[in-house]
Amino acid sequence: MQQTPPTQSTTRRQVLAGAAGAAGLAAGFALAAGTAHAATPGEDERIRRTARALLRRMSLKEKIGQLFVVEVYGKTADSSHAKNEELYGVSTPAEVVAKYRPGGVIYFDARRGPDNLKSPRQVAGLSNGLQRAALRTGARIPLLVSVDQEGGSVVYRMLEPATQLPGNMALAAGRSRADVRRSSEIIGTELAAMGINQNYAPVADVNINPDNPIIGVRSFGSDPDLCSELVAESVRGYHRGEVASAAKHFPGHGDTDVDSHTGLPVIKHSREELERTDLPPFRAAIAQGVDTIMTAHIVVPSLDSSGVPATMSKAIVTGLLREELGFDRLIVTDALDMGGATEDFPPDVAPVRALKAGCDQLVLAPKADTAHAAVRKAVDSGEVSRDRLDASVLRILEHKLRNGLFPRPYVDEDRADRVVGSRRHTADAAAITDRTITLVRNEDGTLPLSAAARNVLVTGWDTDQVGILARTVAARARQKATALATGATPGTEKIEEAVTAAKEHDVTVVLTNAAASAKDKGAAQADLVKALVKTGKPVVAVAVRNAYDIRRFPDVPAYLATFSYGKPSLASVVRTLYGDVDPGGRLPVSVPALDEGDGTLYEYGHGLSY
């Protein structure tokens, strides 16, 4: 049976119960009733005063708990899950919160395992249940409820009915600050309606390496000025949507060919290159009032010659970010269970090192009991001073006060259903996505497709996406479409099957995904495209992730870049194929030739129209 959240006045009584100086705290809570990302100096001082009063009534265990952001398994706060038992020794998400008193939780979908995200109403109910558990425990501090919902089709947690927005590189192709701002506002509004008050977005990395396996289309592109401009607009949009923003991954993850989930990348930029390329978007985010900055598990020798990742580097976190850049708000780690953190820092070391470096919150620290005990031992021994601990806890409390969590920890579960995926949001998303499609090559007027091209073969990468695109084409009047997925690494048999089918159709649309960056996969996809071109029939290649794929098949007659394989992007592709939409996107990266000595195929800013 679903419990009804307490009223706002009841929540205040719960929060204030047992607090020293309740009357003084009430003023601070009243102040925080609105989301105040840019407070006046007087308001800032009242927030600090309130946070200090809260800190004084917290035990050491509660202070340490505030440092951690944990994952919980299950769709409701009171549902038992074996994984909670395995990780935490308790069965329900509410019991995890009661045991560890964490500063925050982070939601994931079933792909990682926690399976927190089923429907808007369910997510809102889970958020309310976890807040209820936090407010019944100890110092009664509300939770940061966080998620990675970047937009696009790479890092996202909520699928439909949540509105699907283009990712950063797609938005950068559209070159519209208003579209970036509106996209972030829609995401923020929908997250806030479900009780999610912290989005770990936007990505502020400048992707200057075509072989980057982890950032790519998550970035706004390769130009620091464009990235800076659009990162700032994204922060503005999230604030309009009343959700906290987080610029990541500091000091810049854009020039690497190693995935920090599995290894430890080394960024070889000089300090001058960092100032010119990597740091400007973070400076822009700070100037715009970003709430949070997330550190990266990358080694940057020009900033710290010790070889430790940025997350563990006092020179980078405290020296550069806190002191030189003047960022005085929340610093969080990237997930501490990633390979870039665990490679050299075991569970009893990583959280202490990150805290000593200057990080405030420790995200997904493995082995919770070990991590908590390690921080407690470090504080008891003086390795981490009480003042250092208190400084982070104060910033966490100030963040929660500034974002209105004390008077408004609960959300209306009925409203979540109405807000998430609303008609207005989906209509705006479709219009924004139409403006991101980029026509890179169009020989002999292949596009838009003529009225005679009524029998279309859709082939290439991924069964789901090929099927969606074929059904969308077939939904048009007088069009027929055949779906023939070949997968990411088509073999000779599949390629021959596609070639045979292409000869029997008027035109072939072939989807590619990361064909330029993965050697074996890329070569196989390129073989498919080249074989289709040899049929002499019109061929349109559609790169549904990175725009670099054309490096492997530069002679394809027509080439579109979508930067996303989400349903809205595929729908926009169909509208573009038939001339309903005149492609207006421009490349936010340059596309180098496959052989380094052959220069650039397409310059930054290139884009064709009809």
Catalytically annotated residues: 261, 334
DSSP 328-359: -SEEEPSPTTSHHHHTT--TTTHHHHHHHHT-
Nearest-5° angle of CA 17, CA 20, CA 23? 80
| Tokens 């390769």 -> residue | 222
Is the Cα dihedral 449, 453, 455, 459 positive or negative?
negative
Instruction: Give 3-state DSSP helix, strand, coil % of the chain, rounded to 5.
Output: 45, 10, 45
Residue of 253, 249, 204, 251 lying closest to 228 (CA atoms): 204
Which residues, in sequence order, are CB contacts of 305 under 8 Å at separation 6+? none
Is the Cα dihedral 72, 74, 75, 80 positive or negative?
negative
User: Phi and psi dihedrals of 427, rounded to 5?
Assistant: -65, -45
The verdict on whether omega for the bond into residue 202 sits within 30 degrees of 0, i.e. cis, is yes
Nearest-5° angle of CA 131, CA 133, CA 136? 105
| Tokens 């464009």 -> residue | 226
Contact 374, 347 (CB under 8 A): yes
| Tokens 């590619």 -> residue | 512
DSSP 402-441: HTTTTT-----HHHHHHHTT-HHHHHHHHHHHHTT-EEEE
